[in-house]
């Protein structure tokens, strides 16, 4: 049995006065720092320590899929909201490794309910459920766990469920939700501030609840509207998710709502935080930029060296995280012919070695910034200035030149992570990387869909490439970005941030705010993250890829008892991480086959070290 406690929140710069022996580590660190800085000044590359987590040499085709009995039934209506809810909840449940069946409203029969312990309704018009509604009510009272996935039409049929949902009264119009307040301990990082909702609409039922409802999320302000609540009904539980936003960026909130059903809920997580720097190192524009000149009276080049990098570097040192820098060799639009070597290597050595000495990683972005697409790719008129590669061989030659360039700069390194320029890459480009560049293990494109962007899930693809999408980006870090970050911290226990040095030149990315404000936004995010989960693992692009492999491959069957959960894991290699929510006021008293740390209130982080994990509650 091993139970470890939440790690302390101290950051490295906190004062640690005391005896000679307590000062000794400080002295050693100082000496090491001096040596590191001396080495950097001479552009000497250090021999790096090995990664904190090694990539697995396991093919996706070789993993086992368990086919346990489905305990969860997802009932959906074939309309717009019902289908959106179905799609989102299928992603949420499958990634939580909860076996489920999905049925359209009209195909549900009362006797089916007895086969399930959880029921999720992605339904807009409850009258379509007909007499089954009465059976659902009886099923809950007999011990079933029901989740209403989104606010439906306020029909008489839906109102007939109010007594088990704990709704005392409900207005005829829907409430516009502009800001969310989460109760303490419901979400990691959720209670430390309220979260504004971008693009609010009349999304949520204006309900007034019975006193025995437990509210986990509500609107901010003097007259809060309940957004997520739970109520015991007979021997069962109901959870109402009154949010009404059914899109990828909110999956973590629906996952958290689902995890309130029943006595406890456990699901695998990645447990990683990564920070990417786009186009870094790369050639720097000459001359001046308006907002940098306004605030600092420095050229772009001098600003990057003296302010931007100093602040960015120190932030990583303060919180102990690592950067993955994505190299661009030059900025031409050349897409055929001989790709000449960039001989101006000074900046690459200076910045690249500092980044590596921080424990970071160098990844491949492009010989130039032209996405890996051939001439048959349709840019839909969006990127008129982009040239398309003449041939597969030209793309290969360019990536090869970039790889050789990096190898000459950073000897002994392997370049395993690729970020597509402008987040665009064609099937041909992906095939090229997968088949001709075996060193490239991971592609880090974007998590959220949009435009022509190559949008990913955290998973290993059939071609063996590990998809490690970046979730949020930039230095504005507005309302939506914050909510998405909160959602992913609680869904995958992941943070993946992407910044570009030239964000400070671009008004659309916040340049007018000035660097001081932009950096303050990023610092605030980082502080929120490491306060919410001090123990989250800070990782490079390759390390998070290794974590995604283990996360994606793991499968599990769970056996519940009154006071515990027993997990049997498939595709377990050396470790696997899980988030556990215990709903009924219990605590973990024993765990075997794993270790456990208390995250917040009812949330625990479990590290499996064996393919069988047994968790006992008090
Ligand atoms: Zn770029």
Judged by DSSP in three states, 162 sits in helix
Q: Residue 60 falls within a domain, yes or no?
A: no
Same domain, 81 and 171: yes
CB 260 within 8 A of CB 584: no
Q: Residue 567 falls within a domain, yes or no?
A: no
CATH code (residue 82): 3.40.50.880
Ligand 1 centroid vs 111 CA: distance in angstroms? Answer: 56
Ligand 1 centroid vs 369 CA: distance in angstroms? Answer: 6
**Do you know the residue count of the chain?**
618
Q: Is beta strand 603-608 parallel, antiparallel or unpaired with respect to 594-600?
A: antiparallel
Ligand 1 centroid vs 333 CA: distance in angstroms? Answer: 14
Q: Residue 593 falls within a domain, yes or no?
A: no
Residue 305 neighbours by CB under 8 Å, 6+ apart: none
Note the pLDDT of residue 20.
33
Expressed as residue numbers, the domain containing 339 is 272-547
Same domain, 258 and 279: no
Q: Residue 574 falls within a domain, yes or no?
A: no
Q: What phi, psi does 130 have (nearest 5°)? A: 55, -135
Q: Residue 464 falls within a domain, yes or no?
A: yes
Ligand 1 centroid vs 422 CA: distance in angstroms? Answer: 6
Q: Residue 563 falls within a domain, yes or no?
A: no
Tokens for 409, please give them: 């700069």
Same domain, 107 and 223: yes
Ligand 1 centroid vs 124 CA: distance in angstroms? Answer: 42
Q: What is the DSSP letter of 260?
A: T
Across the chain, which has 618 residues, the per-10-residue mean pLDDT values are: 34 30 41 43 52 93 90 97 98 97 96 97 97 96 98 97 97 95 97 94 96 98 95 97 97 98 96 98 94 95 95 97 98 97 96 97 98 96 92 98 98 97 98 98 98 97 97 96 98 98 90 95 98 97 98 96 94 98 91 96 96 95
CB 204 within 8 A of CB 243: yes
Q: What phi, psi does 413 have (nearest 5°)? A: -95, 155
Ligand 1 centroid vs 366 CA: distance in angstroms? Answer: 8
Tokens for 208, please give them: 């007034």
Same domain, 200 and 335: no
CA distance 460 to 550: 10
CB 322 within 8 A of CB 278: no
CA distance 419 to 425: 9
Residue 84 neighbours by CB under 8 Å, 6+ apart: 246, 247
CA distance 423 to 455: 8
User: Domain boundary residue among 267, 302, 327?
Assistant: 267
Ligand 1 centroid vs 612 CA: distance in angstroms? Answer: 43
Ligand 1 centroid vs 220 CA: distance in angstroms? Answer: 38
Same domain, 313 and 286: yes
CA distance 120 to 114: 14
Which alpha helices (DSSP H) does 442-566 contain, by range?
479-491, 515-532, 541-553
Our measurement of the distance from residue 8's CA atom to the centroid of its chain's CA atoms, rounded to an integer in Å, reads 23
Q: How many domains does the chain divide into?
A: 2
Q: What phi, psi does 273 have (nearest 5°)? A: -130, 125
Same domain, 177 and 154: yes
Ligand 1 centroid vs 330 CA: distance in angstroms? Answer: 11
Judged by DSSP in three states, 202 sits in strand
Q: Is the dihedral of CA 16, 20, 23, 25 positive or negative?
A: negative
CA distance 365 to 327: 5
User: Strand 555-561's sheet: what is its strand order?
Assistant: 555-561, 564-570, 612-617, 588-592
Q: Closest Cα to residue 46, out of 452, 429, 359?
A: 359
Residue 141 neighbours by CB under 8 Å, 6+ apart: 164, 233, 234, 235, 236
Taking the CA atoms of residue 31, residue 36, residue 41 and residue 46 in that order, the dihedral angle to the nearest 10 degrees is 150
Ligand 1 centroid vs 491 CA: distance in angstroms? Answer: 28
CA distance 205 to 227: 8
Q: Closest Cα to residue 477, out of 447, 498, 501?
A: 498
How far is the CA of 391 from the CAs of 339, 376, 377, 438, in angstroms?
14, 10, 12, 20
CA distance 98 to 118: 10
Ligand 1 centroid vs 423 CA: distance in angstroms? Answer: 8
Note the pLDDT of residue 48.
54
Ligand 1 centroid vs 277 CA: distance in angstroms? Answer: 9
Same domain, 232 and 135: yes
Q: Closest Cα to residue 356, out of 305, 402, 401, 412?
A: 412
Ligand 1 centroid vs 328 CA: distance in angstroms? Answer: 8
Same domain, 383 and 262: no
Ligand 1 centroid vs 421 CA: distance in angstroms? Answer: 5
Taking the CA atoms of residue 105, residue 110, residue 111 and residue 113 in that order, the dihedral angle to the nearest 10 degrees is 70
Ligand 1 centroid vs 527 CA: distance in angstroms? Answer: 26
User: Domain boundary residue among 267, 294, 327?
Assistant: 267
Ligand 1 centroid vs 467 CA: distance in angstroms? Answer: 18
Q: Residue 172 falls within a domain, yes or no?
A: yes
Burial call 578-613: b when 16+ CB within 10 Å, e when fewer? bbbbbbeeeebeebebbbbbebbebbbbbbbeebeb
As a whole number of Å, the end-to-end CA separation of the chain is 15
Ligand 1 centroid vs 278 CA: distance in angstroms? Answer: 5
User: Domain boundary residue among 547, 579, 607?
Assistant: 547
Ligand 1 centroid vs 316 CA: distance in angstroms? Answer: 21
H/E element, 466: strand 466-467
Residue 480 neighbours by CB under 8 Å, 6+ apart: 198, 199, 249
Ligand 1 centroid vs 245 CA: distance in angstroms? Answer: 31
CA distance 149 to 238: 11
Exposure of 402 in the CB half-sphere (CA atoms within 13 A): 31
Ligand 1 centroid vs 470 CA: distance in angstroms? Answer: 13
H/E element, 316: helix 309-319
Ligand 1 centroid vs 195 CA: distance in angstroms? Answer: 30
Same domain, 323 and 448: yes
Ligand 1 centroid vs 441 CA: distance in angstroms? Answer: 19
Ligand 1 centroid vs 494 CA: distance in angstroms? Answer: 22
CATH code (residue 342): 3.20.20.370
Tokens for 373, please give them: 């697409």
Ligand 1 centroid vs 303 CA: distance in angstroms? Answer: 19
Residue found under tokens 């990082």: 189
Q: Closest Cα to residue 274, out of 321, 331, 306, 226?
A: 321
Ligand 1 centroid vs 500 CA: distance in angstroms? Answer: 7
CA distance 176 to 202: 4
Our measurement of the distance from residue 514's CA atom to the centroid of its chain's CA atoms, rounded to an integer in Å, reads 28
Phi/psi-derived region of residue 420, left when phi > 0, alpha when psi is between -120 and 50, beta in every other case: beta
Judged by DSSP in three states, 288 sits in coil
Same domain, 225 and 331: no
Q: Residue 591 falls within a domain, yes or no?
A: no
Same domain, 333 and 190: no
Ligand 1 centroid vs 370 CA: distance in angstroms? Answer: 9
Ligand 1 centroid vs 410 CA: distance in angstroms? Answer: 20
Same domain, 293 and 278: yes
Ligand 1 centroid vs 326 CA: distance in angstroms? Answer: 8
């Amino acid at each position: 049995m091993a139970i470890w406690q939440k790690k302390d929140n101290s950051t490295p710069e906190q004062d640690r006065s005391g005896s000679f022996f307590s000062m000794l580590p400080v002295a050693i660190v100082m000496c090491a720092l001096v040596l590191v800085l001396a080495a950097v000044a001479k552009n000497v590359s250090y021999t790096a320590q090995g990664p904190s987590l090694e990539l697995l040499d396991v093919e996706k085709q070789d993993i086992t899929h368990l086919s346990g009995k489905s305990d969860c039934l997802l009932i959906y209506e074939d309309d717009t909201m019902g289908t959106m809810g179905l799609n989102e909840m299928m992603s949420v449940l499958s990634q939580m490794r909860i076996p489920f069946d999905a049925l359209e409203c009209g195909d549900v029969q009362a006797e089916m309910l007895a086969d399930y312990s959880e029921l999720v309704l992605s339904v807009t018009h409850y009258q379509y459920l007909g007499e089954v509604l009465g059976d659902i009510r009886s099923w809950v009272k007999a011990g079933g766990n029901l989740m209403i996935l989104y606010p439906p039409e306020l029909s008489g049929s839906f109102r007939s469920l109010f007594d088990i949902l704990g709704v005392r009264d409900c207005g005829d119009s829907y409430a516009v939700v502009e800001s969310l307040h989460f109760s303490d301990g419901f979400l990691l990082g959720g209670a430390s501030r309220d979260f504004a909702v971008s693009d609010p609409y009349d999304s949520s039922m204006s309900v007034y609840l019975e006193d025995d409802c437990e509210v986990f999320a509500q609107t901010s302000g003097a007259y809060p509207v309940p957004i997520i609540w739970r109520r015991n009904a007979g021997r069962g539980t109901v959870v109402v998710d009154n949010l009404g936003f059914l899109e990828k960026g909110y999956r973590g909130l629906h996952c958290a709502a689902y995890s309130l059903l029943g006595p406890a809920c456990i699901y695998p997580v990645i447990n990683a935080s990564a920070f990417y720097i786009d186009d870094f190192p790369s050639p720097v524009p000459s001359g001046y930029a308006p907002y940098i000149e306004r605030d600092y009276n420095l050229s772009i080049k001098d600003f990057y060296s003296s302010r931007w990098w100093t602040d960015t570097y120190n932030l990583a040192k303060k919180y102990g995280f690592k950067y993955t820098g994505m190299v661009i060799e030059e900025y031409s639009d050349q897409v055929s012919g001989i790709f000449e070597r960039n001989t101006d290597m000074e900046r690459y050595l200076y910045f690249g070695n500092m980044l590596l000495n921080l424990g970071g990683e160098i990844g491949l972005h492009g010989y130039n910034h032209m996405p890996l697409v051939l001439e048959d790719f349709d840019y839909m008129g969006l990127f008129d200035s982009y040239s398309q590669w003449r041939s597969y061989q030209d793309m290969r030659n360019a990536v090869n030149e970039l790889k050789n360039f990096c190898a000459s700069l950073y000897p002994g390194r392997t370049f395993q992570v690729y970020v597509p320029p402008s987040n665009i890459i064609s099937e041909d480009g992906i095939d090229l990387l997968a088949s001709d560049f075996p060193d490239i293990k991971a592609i880090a494109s974007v998590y959220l869909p949009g435009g022509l962007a190559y949008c990913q899930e955290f998973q290993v693809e059939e071609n063996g490439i590990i998809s490690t999408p970046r979730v949020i980006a930039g230095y504005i870090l507005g309302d939506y970005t914050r909510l998405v970050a909160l959602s992913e911290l609680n869904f995958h226990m992941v943070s993946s941030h992407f910044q570009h040095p030239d964000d400070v030149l671009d008004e659309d990315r916040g340049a007018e705010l000035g660097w001081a404000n932009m950096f303050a936004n990023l610092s605030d995010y980082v502080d929120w993250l490491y306060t919410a989960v001090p123990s989250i693992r800070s990782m490079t692009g390759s390390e998070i890829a290794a974590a995604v492999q283990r996360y994606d491959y793991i499968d599990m069957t769970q056996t519940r008892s009154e006071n515990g959960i027993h997990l049997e894991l498939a595709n377990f290699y050396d470790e696997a991480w899980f988030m556990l929510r215990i709903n009924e006021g219990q605590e973990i008293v024993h765990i075997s086959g794993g270790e456990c740390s208390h995250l917040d209130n009812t949330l625990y982080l479990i590290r499996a070290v064996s393919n069988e994990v047994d968790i006992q509650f008090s």
